[in-house]
């Protein structure tokens, strides 16, 4: 019984991370009717900003260089957001993107070739680093939507999905170059400390991620229900044309949905990197949020939460019992379980357990 309860505890803890990533998928899909595959890349690059902000400055590391580079990137993203609202010609926005690409290239060359992946940081406290990373993540999400997805409006959904795959590849390559081959610490306050209740073990980071996920979900629900902008996002999700006639800026809703998704991915990345450190394999873990979304329903927030619990608990129960009762399935079978559940749900309810059933009139 203890083994079963411990598996449930671990499952609920990892479900909190899956839910955060899945909510980003759902928010983008509800607003744009597009499945974004860029969440793993957003997760890695967002978590890396926490690593960089909280890492102690290395001796001889030109910290001023990094500050200038970050200020340039942030300023370019902010300027792009302000200038792309039909205030200036599109050529200016394109020039800003070229500038951002050049700055990013300089950062990658500096880290990957000059420093050989071994970089120092700013030495900030953990919470300051997290706030800093969330701001950068939100701006990155806005820049991605403005620069790469806005020109795709009106294009086939398949083409837009392929675009998000390309964005994910670019972000992941950049994050891997920045992280290097070593596991990086996010310098979280929880570490590997545990709380024991009888024979059950609660890791401090597990408690933190569950509490954080609950708070985030409550804030999101309150945002969508009571704030003016949240109501605008709900109206856009319901019907974009009707929202436009009511004066809702659909383009701003699109940008905000990507900003929120990037922030959620960054929070999930912080928890994936807490305790034992952040590695590029965290991006693979983020892909498990895709079965979560499909199982729960592409347009359902409650479905994303339920799907995360179902997938994570099933995965942890498999990790616990499969080596004993079904060793012939081989090692690592638990990694397949989320996708098996997804296939089964797709056969029974193609639109997900909580998704909206689409009816087309002929």
Residues 233-247: tens digit of each pLDDT: 877 777 777 777 777
Q: pLDDT value at position 58? A: 62
pLDDT at position 267, please? 94
CA distance linking residue 209 with residue 20, whole number of Å: 10
The verdict on residue 195 lying in a domain is yes
Q: Please answer whether residues 37 and 161 qualify as being in contact, where contact means their C-beta atoms are separated by less than 8 angstroms.
A: yes
Task: List the chain residues with pLDDT less than 50.
Answer: 59-65, 83, 85-89, 91-92, 112-117, 362
Q: Which of 264, 336, 263, 339 is nearest to 307 (CA)?
A: 339
Q: Is residue 144 part of a domain?
A: no
**Does a structural domain hold residue 331?**
yes
pLDDT at 174: 80
Domain count, the chain: 1
Q: Is 87 exposed, middle or buried (0-12, 13-18, 19+ CB in 10 A)?
A: exposed
If residue 203 lies in a helix (H) or strand (E), which one and from where to where? strand 200-203
C-alpha–C-alpha distance, residues 277 and 185, integer Å? 4
| pLDDT of res. 109 | 52
**Contacts with 265 (C-beta within 8 Å, 6 or more apart), sequence order:** 20, 21, 24, 39, 40, 42, 43, 46, 137, 286
| Residue 297 to residue 305: CA distance in whole angstroms | 10
Q: Coil, strand, or helix at residue 128?
A: helix
Structural domain includes residue 98: no
What is the per-residue pLDDT for 120?
Answer: 60
- Taking the CB of residue 261, how many other CB atoms lie within 10 A of it? 28
- What pLDDT score does 89 carry? 44
Q: Is residue 332 part of a domain?
A: yes
- Residue 301: in which H helix or E strand, if any? helix 301-325
In a domain, residue 129? The reply is no
Kindly tell me the sign of the dihedral angle through the C-alpha atoms of 178, 36, 9, 334.
negative
Whether 226 is in a domain gets the answer: yes
pTM (2 decimals)? 0.83
Residue numbers of the domain that contains 251: 2-34+186-348
Paired sense of beta strands 200-203 and 194-197, if any: antiparallel
Pair 44, 175: CB distance under 8 Å = yes
Cα–Cα distance for residue pair 179/274, rounded to 1 Å: 15
Contact at 8 Å (CB) between 84 and 15?
A: no
Give, in degrees to the nearest 5, the angle at Cα 261 between 255 and 262. Answer: 90
The pLDDT of residue 64 is: 45
Instruction: Tell me, yes or no, whether 307 lies in a domain.
Output: yes
């Amino acid at each position: 019984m203890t083994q079963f309860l411990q598996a449930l505890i671990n499952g609920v803890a990892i479900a909190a991370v899956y839910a955060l990533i899945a909510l980003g998928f759902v928010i983008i899909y509800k607003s744009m009717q597009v499945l974004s595959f860029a969440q793993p890349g957003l997760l890695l690059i967002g978590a890396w900003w926490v690593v960089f902000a909280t890492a102690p400055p290395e001796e001889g590391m030109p910290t001023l260089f990094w500050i200038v580079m970050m200020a340039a990137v942030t300023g370019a993203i902010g300027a792009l957001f302000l200038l792309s609202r039909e205030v200036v010609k599109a050529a200016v926005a394109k020039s800003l993107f070229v500038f951002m690409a050049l700055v990013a290239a300089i950062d990658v060359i500096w880290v990957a070739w000059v420093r050989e992946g071994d970089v120092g940081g700013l030495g900030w406290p953990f919470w300051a680093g997290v706030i800093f990373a969330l701001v950068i993540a939100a701006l990155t999400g806005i820049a991605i939507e403005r620069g790469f997805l806005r020109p795709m409006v009106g294009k086939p959904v398949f083409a837009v999905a392929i675009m998000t795959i390309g964005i994910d590849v670019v972000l992941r390559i950049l994050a891997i170059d920045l992280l290097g081959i070593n596991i990086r610490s996010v310098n979280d306050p929880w570490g590997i400390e545990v709380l024991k209740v009888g024979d059950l073990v609660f890791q401090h980071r597990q408690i933190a991620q569950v509490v954080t996920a609950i708070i985030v979900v409550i804030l999101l629900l309150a945002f969508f229900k009571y704030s003016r902008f949240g109501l605008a996002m709900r109206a856009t999700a319901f019907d974009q044309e009707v929202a436009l006639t009511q004066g809702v800026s659909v383009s701003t809703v699109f940008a905000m949905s990507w900003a929120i998704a990037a922030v959620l991915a960054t929070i999930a990345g912080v928890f994936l990197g807490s305790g034992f450190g952040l590695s590029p394999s965290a991006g693979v873990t983020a892909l498990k949020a895709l079965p979560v979304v499909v199982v729960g329903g592409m347009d359902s927030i409650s479905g994303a939460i339920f799907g995360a619990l179902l997938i994570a608990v099933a995965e942890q129960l498999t990790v616990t019992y499969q080596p004993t009762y079904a060793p012939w399935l081989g090692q690592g079978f638990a990694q397949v379980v989320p996708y098996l559940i997804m296939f089964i749900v797709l056969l029974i309810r193609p639109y997900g357990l909580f998704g909206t059933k689409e009816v087309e009139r002929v």
